[in-house]
């Protein structure tokens, strides 16, 4: 992909982020359902329009890979939302400032994922066995997520959050949307800083899974970046749109575990096809796209049926560790 295409794409992403920042900074407010729907639909249309352009300009194969990667990242970002809801609740973030917190959180996620994409693409180009390692990592992650699919992360005792509290003077109360405040003449950070640290830590952990996952459907760094960027750009609006419905997606973590394990197998088969024997079959991208959509559709319908029959059932974001290791998230 040419330098000009990279520059234009990054420029579009930065422009959309700038709009989010301006809205969050100049007009802090409680985001209602109608506004959340408008933003969500807008971001989805932008992502789809980009995919259509990519298909027309660079061929159906790249277009299919982009849409597969976008759906993978979008589905994983929904699990992100579970943790975001827990963070906002744990630290009692005022609703009018949640917009700002999410926007900065998305910026942190984009920066970290850009770094992971660069590192991942470099490793894959230099060492083909990285496909094997990425595949094993995703299978391990899928198994662990399935085992602890009914767990919730303990954000308050997360090691990153505890370190931030130990190193930084944190005030007891919020001071509007400020990050710094003065208490009895002493300069202190507000709880918003701790919230941002918590979200940044969560974004880092999710990047460790999502980047290998999207490399499982495409090895083109540009497509990996675009899929991540457009999925994350819609995350802020999606949070306000579905946070009241997240509790009903009781089987989402199990579905994501299946998707991660499936992509892990795809990566291992690709490694075996390239490094061991060309007769080893590979899983085509259209098949991957169909499997991902199918799994998400099944878990969504099953979740809605389950919660209708059992209103007390509640969804959980899942965890990679058991309760004894909760402080690591």
209-227 confidence digits (pLDDT tens): 778 888 888 888 899 889 9
Half-sphere exposure of 31 (CA within 13 A, CB side): 24
Residue range 200-206: average pLDDT?
A: 77
- Whether residue 184 has pLDDT greater than 50: yes
pLDDT attached to residue 4: 85
Candidates 324, 25, 302, 278; CA nearest to 151 is: 324
Distances in whole angstroms, Cα of residue 223 to Cα of each of 33, 161, 226, 244, 300 = 31, 33, 5, 32, 27
**pLDDT band at 169; cut points 50, 70, 90:** confident
pLDDT attached to residue 107: 79
Domain boundaries, the chain: 3-309
pLDDT attached to residue 63: 92
268-278 confidence digits (pLDDT tens): 998 998 889 88
33-92 confidence digits (pLDDT tens): 787 788 888 889 999 999 999 999 999 999 999 999 999 888 877 777 777 777 887 888
Which residues make Cβ contacts (< 8 Å) with residue 19, sequence separation at least 6? none
Residue carrying structure tokens 């169909």: 290
Percent of the chain whose predicted confidence (pLDDT) is above 70? 92
Measured distance CA(174)–CA(189) in Å, rounded: 9
- Whether residue 133 has pLDDT greater than 70: yes
């Amino acid at each position: 992909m040419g330098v000009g295409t990279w520059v234009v794409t990054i420029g579009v992403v930065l422009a959309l982020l700038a709009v989010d920042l301006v809205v969050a900074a100049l007009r802090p407010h409680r985001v209602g359902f109608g506004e959340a729907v408008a933003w969500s639909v807008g971001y989805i249309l932008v992502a789809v329009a980009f995919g259509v352009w990519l298909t027309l300009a660079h061929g159906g194969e790249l277009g299919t890979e982009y849409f597969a990667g976008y759906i993978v990242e979008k589905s994983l970002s929904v699990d992100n939302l579970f943790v975001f809801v827990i963070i906002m609740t744990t630290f009692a973030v005022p609703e009018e400032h949640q917009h700002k917190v999410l926007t900065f959180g998305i910026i942190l996620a984009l920066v970290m994922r850009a770094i992971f994409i660069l590192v991942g693409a470099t490793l894959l180009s230099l060492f083909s066995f990285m496909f094997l390692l990425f595949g094993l990592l995703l299978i391990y992650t899928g198994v662990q997520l399935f085992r602890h699919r009914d767990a919730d992360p303990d954000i308050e005792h997360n090691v990153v959050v505890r370190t931030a509290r130990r190193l930084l003077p944190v005030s007891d109360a919020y001071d509007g949307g400020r990050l710094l405040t003065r208490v009895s003449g002493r300069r202190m950070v507000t709880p918003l800083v701790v919230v941002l640290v918590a979200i940044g830590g969560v974004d880092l952990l999710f990047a460790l899974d999502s980047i290998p996952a999207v490399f499982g459907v495409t090895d083109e760094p540009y497509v990996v970046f675009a899929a991540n960027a457009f999925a994350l750009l819609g995350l802020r609006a999606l949070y306000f749109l579905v946070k009241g419905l997240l509790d009903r997606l009781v089987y989402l973590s199990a579905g994501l575990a299946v998707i991660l394990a499936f992509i892990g197998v795809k990566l291992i088969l690709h490694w075996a096809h390239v490094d061991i024997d060309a007769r080893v079959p590979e899983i085509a991208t259209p098949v991957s796209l169909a499997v991902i959509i199918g799994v998400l559709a099944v878990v969504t319908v099953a979740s809605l049926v389950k919660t209708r029959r059992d209103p007390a059932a509640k969804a959980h974001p899942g965890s990679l560790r058991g309760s004894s290791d909760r402080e690591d998230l």
